[in-house]
Structure 1
Amino acid sequence: MGPALLAERLVKRYGDLTAVDGLDLAVRPGEIVGLLGPNGAGKTTTLRMLAGILSPTAGRVLVGGVDLAARPLEAKQRIGFLSGDTQLYQRLTPREVLRYFGRLYGIGEAALSRRIDALVADLEMEAFASRPCSTLSAGQKQRANIARAFLHEPEVLILDEPTTALDVISGRFIVASIRRERAAGRAILFSTHIMGEAEYLCDRIALLHEGRIVDAGALPELLERAGATNLTDAFLHHVERGRPPTAPEGAGAPARGGEAP
């Protein structure tokens, strides 16, 4: 089966800074791919290009075979996107937010009501789904945001660190929801810096460093290539391998009491 999400030679530059440098990535239906890397590695920039929020400097993105640059509206209808700074309308309740976005997606009222009820049940939102979003905790807001991303049953889900700063219970609901969406045949790409979360969830993992994918594959493959026993060590192996040798102590430093010779 061909990829539901495909990025080819994706580049993003900001002046002299290259945030993403020649990235190739594919996500198939019914697959979870994790994009891992430290802060500043280019994860959020990559996901925003894949979701059509940022335009790449070079390269292309296909969503269900549709070119995102050439046919953006058609491609974006196939995407559910959640970023780390996604906000809710504070005066609306989660149910009202979902109804508003469902109407924007053109979902019929009867089908929309059924879909909202199902999401509220799946994410165990019954206790707060009818309260204003301004009164919700961080975990409750994130569940509502996840429901919004899942609402129109998109082919592709792009999730930027969906469990960051959440308590254990809220994080568990979101991880379970991601697994359900995979079982329904969605192609899911999500970024995280939580290695254990990636080990648990992902079918394949791409390690991103300084805007480049330094390795990608199933977890056993990554560990074998790096000669590591866990994902953290595998990632550090690639990062350290790409650094220049460390200079001897004192090399290149000015002589004490004066300038360098």
Structure 2
Amino acid sequence: MNSTASQASILPVELRGVTCRFGRKAVLRGVEMELRAGEIVGLLGQNGAGKTTLFTILVGLRQGDAGARLFGGVERREVELEIRARLAWLAHDPQLYPLLSARENVELFVDLAGSTRPSGAPTPRAVLERLGLADVIDRPVGTFSRGMAQRVALARALALEPELLILDEPFTALDRAGRELLADLLRAEAARGAAVLLSSHDLDVVAELVDRALLLDAGVIALEVQRERGQTTDEFRRRLSASL
């Protein structure tokens, strides 16, 4: 990782007994989760299961009603700027500035990070080129397809080399080449030591990519399926299908 010596890693990231209510509805009812360096974790669950709520609690955009959130073994009631700078959340909506170019969108994000940006992080141009956007780097993203905009949002998420990468349905609107590129990038992020958490309704994608799969159901992590050593993608997919 590119964290300075004075900064302890924010990993592992843990949720302990996290609950969240919206009025009378209990969305999360005691979630237990741990995300470790170098692994890719898939979060499964039906629409409305609370996956996005869980993500927003992890990154500090929402506070749970009870329970604890820990970074590097330290409980954090608030997610301070120094921690936020070391995690990235790719929401289902790319949330880009349509009148700015792809390069300007990423440069703005990097500029806002200021001194929290790791010294060895790639340039905006390099990360956009890595995502296959070299030919459109200076075009306004308002002219992009949904899949291309998704790539720009991913470039923005990777620009600071986050320790924790959280992605809400990241394969949406990507063509086959885009899905394969994204899968390779996420494997590379895990190989460099990041923790990756993603949600997807595509069981084939999850089976091919993740080290662990978690099922969020009735407000709790109801099931965990670990990829076994030497297990093929087809074998892991069958285990997932049988468990869900």
TM-score (norm 2): 0.86
Greater shift in the superposed pair: 205-214 or 133-142: 205-214
The answer for the alignment partner of 2:175 in structure 1 is 167
The answer for the alignment partner of 1:181 in structure 2 is 189
In the TM superposition, what whole-angstrom CA distance separates every residue of 1:145-174 from its partner, at most 9, and x where no partner exists?
Answer: 001111111111111110123222222222
User: Which aligned pairs between 1:141-152 and structure 2 lie closer than 5 A?
Assistant: 141-152=149-160
Instruction: Give yes or no for the alignment of 1:99 onto 2:107.
Output: yes
Determine which of 60, 64, 72 is the counterpart of 1:52: 60
Write out the 4+ residue segments of structure 1 that deviate beyond 6 Å after TM superposition: none
The answer for the alignment partner of 2:162 in structure 1 is 154
> In the alignment, residue 13 of structure 2 is paired with which amino acid?
L
> In the alignment, residue 177 of structure 2 is paired with which amino acid?
I
Q: Provide structure 2 residue ranges, at least 5 long, that are not aligned to the other structure.
A: 1-8
CA gap of 1:42–1:231, structure 2 versus 1, over 3 A, is farther
Contact 1:47 1:158 in 2 (8 A): yes
The answer for the alignment partner of 1:193 in structure 2 is 201
Determine which of 120, 138, 144 is the counterpart of 1:136: 144
Other structure's SS at 1:105 match? helix
The answer for the alignment partner of 2:69 in structure 1 is 61
Alignment partners' CA distance in 2, 1:12 and 1:126: 42
Alignment partners' CA distance in 2, 1:204 and 1:55: 26
Q: How many residues align?
A: 230
Contact 2:212 2:226 in 1 (8 A): yes
CA gap of 1:231–1:133, structure 2 versus 1, over 3 A, is farther
CA gap of 1:82–1:113, structure 2 versus 1, over 3 A, is closer
Alignment partners' CA distance in 1, 2:57 and 2:17: 12
Q: Let me know the Cα RMSD of the aligned residues.
A: 2.5
TM-score (norm 1): 0.80
The answer for the alignment partner of 1:250 in structure 2 is none
* Residue 128 of structure 1: how far off its partner (Å): 1.3
In the TM superposition, what whole-angstrom CA distance separates every residue of 1:179-231 from its partner, at most 9, and x where no partner exists?
Answer: 1111111011111111111111111111111221111131459x9xxxx9725
Other structure's SS at 1:41 match? coil
> In the alignment, residue 100 of structure 2 is paired with which amino acid?
L
Alignment partners' CA distance in 2, 1:189 and 1:66: 20
The answer for the alignment partner of 1:208 in structure 2 is 216
Contact 1:6 1:62 in 2 (8 A): yes
> In the alignment, residue 152 of structure 2 is paired with which amino acid?
A
Instruction: Give yes or no for the alignment of 1:118 onto 2:129.
Output: no
Q: Could you say which structure has the larger radius of gyration?
A: 1
